[in-house]
Amino acid sequence: MMTKIRLLPVIFACVLLLSGCSGMRLAYNSADFLIERYADDYLGLDGSQMANWSPTLDVALAQHREQELPFLAAFFDSAQNDARKGFNNADVNCLLDQFEVIYRRHFTLAAEAAAPLLATLDKQQIDALERTFREEAREDADDNAPENAPKRERKRAERYEDNMQWWVGKLTDQQRAIVRDVTASMPETNTWYAYRDAKRRELIALLRGQASAQRIEDFLYDWLVEYRDMPATLERAQTDMRRGFTDLLVRLDATWNPGQRRKLIGRLTRLRGDFMALQRQARMAPVGC
């Protein structure tokens, strides 16, 4: 889920990333309010822009509830089944394949919803968005300076540890050592930042040229869903990240104690139940692996 601008993840974040929130159902049912506030804060929308965009957002959220929740329910069903028997390489690769499908479907929907709003931005709003992009690029450049490599490696390990502890509880020293070992071999993200910044500049140029909503949607789809001009180095980095995550999960699985496994199964099972309950007619999408 890496290649994105800040506006687009709001739908995705309010769906997938809220899986880490104990009030996920409440948050999902309040997604229209959360997304509108986020978009307003980030883009400085006026009342007419928000009023005109709200029906588009409502359609997107209704489509998400009807068409995307079954994929999320199926993903967490697969994950809890794998957690019960123990993860192997095939299991993790199947989960990652499912996640890729979910990602592409979500960002297709996000591009469709965001494009009409982006097409309405005026010069002042575009200028402000460009300044935000530049500020973020400067911050990222500082963080990714060569002399900060040890700090980045440490923070990456800490992020993975924190995320894993949400799922399974406190990690042992052995488990933390596995996280540090695997994350140390994961590729740096400098190439991704350069790619993202180039695509952001292309987006700003489209907005300044008063591109149509359809043209903006096509651009976002090509960038965020199809990765049509992604550099080969970044494609290789994604493959390496996938391999690293698979190795991490399989190695950790062999070390989980009964309590950690119970906690993981419980969280995954509850999330499956949440995504089933949020549907008007509960179902799970078919899994192709």
Mean pLDDT, all residues of the chain: 87
Q: Indicate yes or no: pTM above 0.75.
A: yes
* % of the chain surpassing 70 pLDDT: 91
Q: Tell me how far apart the terminal alpha carbons of the chain are, to the nearest angstrom.
A: 21
Query: 10 Å Cβ neighbour count for 25?
Result: 15
Tell me how far apart the alpha carbons of residues 49 and 46 are, in angstroms, rounded to a whole number. Answer: 5
Task: Enumerate the domain spans of the chain.
Answer: 9-277
Give me 85's structure tokens: 């028997």
Over range 43-53, report the average pLDDT: 90
Nearest alpha carbon to residue 32 among 7, 51, 11: 11
Over range 97-121, report the average pLDDT: 93
> Is pLDDT at 82 greater than 50 in this prediction?
yes
Give the Å distances, CA to CA, from 85 to 78, 248, 262.
11, 17, 12
Give the tens place of pLDDT for each residue, 51-70: 999 999 899 989 998 999 99
> Is pLDDT at 173 greater than 60 in this prediction?
yes
Give me 162's structure tokens: 């924190």
Nearest alpha carbon to residue 106 among 8, 248, 196, 185: 8
Tell me the pLDDT band of 9, cut-offs 50, 70 and 90.
Answer: very low
Give me 121's structure tokens: 């931005």
The pLDDT value recorded for residue 26 is 63
Angle at 120 between CA 199 and CA 213, to 5 degrees: 60
Q: Which amino acid is at 197?
A: D
